[in-house]
A and B are shown apart, each in its own frame.
Chain A
Amino acid sequence: MTEALVTRELCKVYQEGSIQVTAVQPCSITLCAGEVIGLFGPSGSGKTTLLSILGCILRPTSGELSVFGQTVSHLDENQLPEIRRKYISFIFQAFNLFPALTAFENILLGLRIKGVVGSEAEDRTAKMLQEVGLGHRMHFLPRDMSGGQKQRVAVARALAADCPIILADEPTGNLDISNGRKVMELLKELASEKQCCVVVATHDNRIEDIFDRIVYMEDGFIRRIKRSDT
């Protein structure tokens, strides 16, 4: 399997006044293309920080991060957007859709950021909305959609870009059981079809069975890694 994300002794320390807080203790982990990985742990366990570092939003204090073989942990703020454009898409708990733009336009804007424009972007957007079951709602504003539909738009935005890595933070957090499960199944299905590496930070135990591997975090440490078949 292709190694999508590799961390070596990756560590994040925050300075809060005179106190140092270690959010992620040195960790080494390899995440592969086609895998759906769950990051589990209580609030403050460091899963969101780890997700931010994997997404090249935060820079690690020490250690190394490679994205598809390219070491990115030493890159500066001006170089990281290029990595994110090329490799990474995000899904957030709060959807983070532009309220002034329709579902179609929100995805189109995401594609534009990724450098996909014109009729190709429009075709891809329409196709992706059809795939997530929102073909009939593509010209609706987020305010006219349910939480589940908004999250599906966010998923479609993440997948439309054809990025090989998808990072999701509590994607089911604002959804009921049934919608949450639908979104996760959709993610798993599309991820496997497109051979994406999907990392989901969550504490929703009801969706544990979706993941190929589950990483349990506590106090910044990776305590345990569980494969779905074990």
Chain B
Amino acid sequence: MFYVAVRILLYDKARSLITLVGVIFAVGLIFNQLGIFLGLMETSSVIIDNTPGDIWITSKNSKNFDFAQPFPEYTRNLVLGDNGVQWAEKLIVAWGIINQKEGGTEQLEIVGFNVDTGVGGPWEMKEGSTDLLRNGNFAIIDESAMGRLGNISVGEYRDVFSRRLQIVGICKGVKSFTTAPVMYMSFPLAQKLVNYLPSESTVFIIVKVAPGVPVQGVAKRLRTLLKGNDVYTKSEFSFKTRYYWAVETGVGFSFLLTIIISFLVGILIVGQTIYNSTMEHIKEFGTLKAMGADNSDIYKIIISQAMINALIGYVASLIITFLTAGLYDAIGMVLSVSWWVNLLVLLLTVCMCIIAAFISIRRIKKIDPAILFRG
């Protein structure tokens, strides 16, 4: 019956092509929407995920990584008082203004970290070194910032909050959910530079738990100790940040809606074309039934048609998605296409086409034998 399905598809070339284009369009949209969403989610917590440490301490009720409020830096001393803590580092994440070369300004996300330990700093340098950030007005910028800020080379100067900083390195892999460029500098410089931060304050404290000590136990003790702060394990804080951007801002919902619409459009396109094809062959299917074919024999033809469309459409969409991933990268966006996304989209595609086939199957079930006797 698979052979019959293939022959029908090859015979109705125009219809098959329309179906395939529909599947490619729908699946491509699902791939892209899902990929962009997951890419955004990865981006939103990329610094948390790439920073060593087991526990993140924030001010009370901070909702995410990007918009946390400052709190006194002496809190670190209280944290270090816990026997289960191996080390604790301060980290500033704040918003700044950078002057553009051609005039005008741009917002950027400033990350101030302890250069001696590197905790919270860039994890992959393309050029320069984090060591160069010591003792001066120096900064490192992520290569993705160049889309917003124009070409930046090591050694050139940029004004941030009206203070001239020399770029001493270019890092890679650091992007912010907000798409604002990320600039690294030493903790003391960030503390001085960000004028809205109270003196002697930090935005996060990152804690490394001593080997063999349960992270949850230390987190629990710190929660009891630090009444004015929130204490999260690394995975909790990463999830909280992703959850904030995905759910609380409604971004996730809009992506989900597009995915659902794409899915439904796919069902409609595939369903419509397979249904038309079924209706066109309804007498032939009826004849098969008259000859003694079970409904299941005919279902096999229809489902095979749907599956062929699903698989060819999926593979074509996957290739297109891989080809366009580079374009996304060029415009500073991340398109996440991992094996499980591929598998999920494959399942969605198969579901989409099987559901579409069921519209025709329902019709086949109800074939009126009388149609066979109409000329």
Contact = CB atoms under 8 A, between A and B. Distances in A.
Nearest to A170: B375
Contact of B290 (A90, A93, A98): A90
Interface stretch (B183-191, B278-286, B318-326, B334-342): B278-286
B263 to A, nearest CB: 29
Contacts of A170: 375
A29 interface: no
A137 B7 CA distance: 18
A101 interface: yes
Nearest to A82: B292
A113 B293 contact: yes
A30 interface: no
Nearest to A52: B369
Interface in A57-110: 57-58, 81-86, 88-90, 92-94, 96-101, 105, 109-110
B4 interface: yes
Interface stretch (B8-16, B39-47, B139-147, B230-238): B8-16
Interface residues of A, number: 35
Given A100-B12, A109-B4, A92 B372 contact: yes
A96 to B, nearest CB: 4
A81 B372 CA distance: 16
Contact of A57 (B11, B281, B372): B372
A90 B12 contact: no
A110 B369 contact: no
Contacts of B369: 52, 57-58
A110 B375 CA distance: 21
Interface centre among B283, B288, B290 (most CB of A within 10 A): B290
B284 A98 contact: yes
B126 to A, nearest CB: 57
A85 B292 contact: yes
Interface string B356-375: 00000000000001101111
B291 A98 contact: no
Contacts of A174: 375
A77 to B, nearest CB: 9
Contacts of B284: 96-99
Interface string A159-172: 00100000001100
A105 B293 contact: no
Given A51-B373, A94-B283, A110 B291 contact: yes
A98 B8 contact: yes
A114 B289 CA distance: 11
B291 A84 contact: yes
A57 B290 CA distance: 6
A99 B11 contact: yes
Contacts, number: 82
A114 B283 contact: no
Interface string B276-306: 0000010110111111111001000000000
A173 B289 contact: no
A169 to B, nearest CB: 5
Contact of A161 (B10, B283, B291): B291
Contact of A90 (B7, B10, B287, B294): B287
A149 interface: no
Contact of A88 (B287, B292, B372): B292
B7 A89 contact: no
Contacts of B291: 84-85, 88-90, 110, 113-114, 161
Nearest to B374: A94
Interface centre among A89, A99, A161 (most CB of B within 10 A): A99
Interface of A: 48, 51-52, 55, 57-58, 81-86, 88-90, 92-94, 96-101, 105, 109-110, 113-114, 141, 161, 169-170, 173-174
Which 9 pairs between the two chains have the least Cβ-Cβ distance?
Answer: A85-B292, A100-B11, A84-B292, A57-B369, A96-B287, A100-B7, A93-B375, A48-B373, A113-B293
16 contacts: A52-B370, A52-B373, A57-B372, A81-B294, A84-B291, A85-B291, A88-B290, A90-B287, A92-B373, A94-B374, A96-B372, A98-B7, A99-B11, A100-B8, A100-B10, A113-B292
Interface of B: 4, 7-8, 10-12, 281, 283-284, 286-294, 297, 369-370, 372-375
